[in-house]
Amino acid sequence: MTTKKKSNARVKKAARGAKPATVGSRIIEGLEQAVAWTKGQNTRVRVTVVHVPEIDVRKVRRKMGLSQAQFANKFGFPPATLRNWEQGRAHPDAPTRVLLAVIAKHPDAVEDVLRKAS
């Protein structure tokens, strides 16, 4: 009962004060902060920069001892896309490079997740 009373008191206190922020208002606020930061106006924001590694897809595939078709089928890539990556005609985008980096380090974990998802 005590926890519920405290929780209700917080809700009532919030209702008396400022309106709680909506998801939309928080998104707009974040976008306004991002624009200000890019203009050099707001330097007190937290910026997270993530380095996405370049991945040698052929090296990863060969290390696993798989053909292009086997690798593509196992991890859900179109075989033609895999060929294009390996031959340098195309390059994986950032999210795909992250997935490839995980495959390179923990292929069993990726296979397990894919198996459970299907």
89 has pLDDT over 60: yes
CA distance 75 to 95: 14
Read off the pLDDT of residues 6-55 as tens digits, 9 standing for 90 and up. 444 444 444 555 667 898 988 998 888 888 888 888 767 777 788 888 99
The CA–CA distances, whole Å, from 38 to 29, 46, 48, 94 equal: 14, 12, 14, 22
Mean pLDDT to the nearest integer, 106-112: 94
CA distance 101 to 24: 34
100 phi/psi in degrees, rounded to 5: -65, -35
Domains and CATH numbers, the chain: 2-38 (no CATH), 57-117 (1.10.260.40)
Neighbours of 75 (CB within 10 A): 19
Amino acid in the structure at residue 14: A
Please enumerate in sequence order all residues whose Cβ is within 8 A of that of 101, keeping only pairs 6 or more positions apart, or say none. Answer: 52, 53, 55
pTM of the model: 0.59
95 has pLDDT over 50: yes
